Amino acid sequence: MQFENTLNFAKQMDRKDPLKKFRGRFIIPKHKGKNVIYFTGNSLGLQPKTAAKYIQQELTDWAKFGVEGHFKAKNLWYSYHELVAGPLAELSGAKKEEVVAMNQLTSNLHFLFVSFYRPEGKRIKILCEAHAFPSDQYLLESQLKFHGFDPAEALIEVSPRRGEYTIRTEDILSAIEKHKEELALVFIGGVNYYSGQVMDMKTITEAGHQAGALVGFDLAHAIGNICLDLHNWNVDFAAWCSYKYLNSGPGSVGGAFIHTKHHRSELQRFAGWWGHDKNSRFKMEKGFSPIPTAEGWQLSNAPVFSMAIHKAALAVFEEAGISRIIEKSNKLTGYLRFIIDGINNKSNVLEILTPETAGSQLSISVHRQGKEVFRKLISKGIMADWREPNVIRVAPVPLYNSFEDVFRFGEVLLKSFT
């Protein structure tokens, strides 16, 4: 597509946008009485306007039915998590029985590691990307220590090459091959939070399996942002949060994927009563009998109020369609890249760290007065994200950001250097 750095072009693109109506489905924060340019959906998505209505339905049913709301509410609380399984399967490229909404991201990963990190003999090592999201780093370190291993020896971290900002797939594959006799698990962020790099999950999964290891992914920055095909990629497990691109509210319910090939296996797991056979759950008997789906990894009943917002947010995705969302994302992020490149031709202080193939995020290294530039953006009503030492992360989310947002951002960014 031939882009133009003009307001007229941006408005023309917005007029032709088949998803333009969805911007009106979200509440956009204000700055001096005007909508902010909200480019932090990769950190916390905006509130769907229907969220309050969905929560009010559950408050009304709680008042009306009390405990009987589990079986009499409009949306049965007993099986509330089942209401979002279909949309989550669509977004993750999974079968409906392979996904479940539960807990939060890192707690889900710890529970999944009980099943999928099973060190034995020489196979004790975990391979991950260097500089993973801190929570994943803490997860991996604590899991290794829990099993009695020294992270300095048992954790293999793959880094970008000197002078590069992203990790080459060939280097990940090389590390897998090098350590294949000692590798128990490959665990990587599907989209790197810092650089916005999208990992080649299909190829990594194939290589991990060929080496005799299991493979899992943190999809916090991937789900609702990029195309996923977890079942066909043969991924063993994955987990995600729902408050970034899925717009389900701060700290909202997370989700997990477990491939069907593991549903009836004898994998060790921590058990809870909501993962127990539904037909005998209320008999309150000893002996855990897991549901033969991803639901079998649940421990507790659904957090209905946060799940209500999750349901409201996913309804927007169902209506918009993930393929159309990604199509707009590619154009919107492409336009942002074009605008930044144009500014850099005049200022020569910006460097985009994110590869060409990416989701709704560009990470921009600012080589001069980065913090001051960031503060100027904030003062002009642009909500972006600062990461030390000099990176501004910008995420034009296709459901509620516009081409005009991108153009206006470019105007302010350019003036920040002059």
Q: Any bridge partners for residue 197, and if so which? A: 358
User: Residue 360: its pLDDT value, please?
Assistant: 96
pLDDT at 417: 74
* Burial status of residue 282 (CB atoms within 10 A of its CB: 0-12, 13-18, 19 or more): exposed
Q: Are 51 and 313 in contact (CB under 8 A)?
A: yes
Whole-number Å distance between alpha carbons of 243 and 251: 7
What pLDDT score was predicted for residue 339?
A: 96
**Direct distance between the N- and C-terminal alpha carbons of the chain, in angstroms, rounded to an integer:** 29
Number of CB atoms found within 10 A of residue 51's CB = 21
Centre a 10 Å sphere on the Cβ of residue 36 and count the other Cβ atoms it contains: 17
Residue 418 has a pLDDT of: 65
Distance CA 108, CA 118 (A): 16
pTM of the model: 0.96
pLDDT value of position 122: 96
Q: What are phi and psi of 135, to 5 degrees?
A: -60, -35
Per residue of the chain (418 residues), give pLDDT as tens: 899 999 999 999 999 999 999 999 999 999 999 999 999 999 999 999 999 999 999 999 999 999 999 999 999 999 999 999 999 999 999 999 999 999 999 999 999 999 999 999 999 999 999 999 999 999 999 999 999 999 999 999 999 999 999 999 999 999 999 999 999 999 999 999 999 999 999 999 999 999 999 999 999 999 999 999 999 999 999 999 999 999 999 999 999 999 999 999 889 999 999 999 999 998 999 999 999 999 999 999 999 999 999 999 999 999 999 999 999 999 999 999 999 999 988 778 899 999 998 899 999 999 988 999 999 999 999 999 999 999 999 999 999 999 999 999 999 999 887 6
What pLDDT is stored for residue 85 in this prediction?
Answer: 98
Alpha-carbon distance of 87 to 246, in angstroms, equals: 11
3 state SS for the chain: CCCCCCHHHHHHHHHHCCCHHHHHHEECCEECCEECEECECCCCCCEECCHHHHHHHHHHHHHHHHHHHHHHCCCCHHHHHHHHHHHHHHHHCCCHHHEEECCCHHHHHHHHHHHHCCCECCECEEEEECCCCHHHHHHHHHHHHHCCCCHHHHEEEECCCCCCCCCCHHHHHHHHHHCCCCEEEEEEECECCCCCEECCHHHHHHHHHHCCCEEEEECCCCCCCCCCCHHHHCCCEEEECCCCCCCCCCCCCCEEEECHHHCCCCCCCCCCHHHECCCCHHHCCCCCCECCCHHHHCCCCCCHHHHHHHHHHHHHHHHHCHHHHHHHHHHHHHHHHHHHHHHHHHHCCEEECCCCCECCCEEEEECCCHHHHHHHHHHCCEECEEECCCEEEEECCCCCCCHHHHHHHHHHHHHCCC
How many other CB atoms are found less than 10 A from the CB of residue 407?
A: 23
**Domains and their CATH numbers in the chain:** 7-48+322-415 (3.90.1150.10), 55-320 (3.40.640.10)
Report the phi/psi class of residue 34: left, alpha or beta, with left for phi > 0 and alpha for psi in -120 to 50. beta
Q: What is the largest CA-CA distance in the chain?
A: 72
Contact present, 349 and 40 (Cβ < 8 Å): no
Judge whether 176 and 186 are in contact, CB under 8 Å.
yes
Q: What is the pLDDT of residue 25?
A: 98
Contact 238, 257 (CB under 8 A): yes
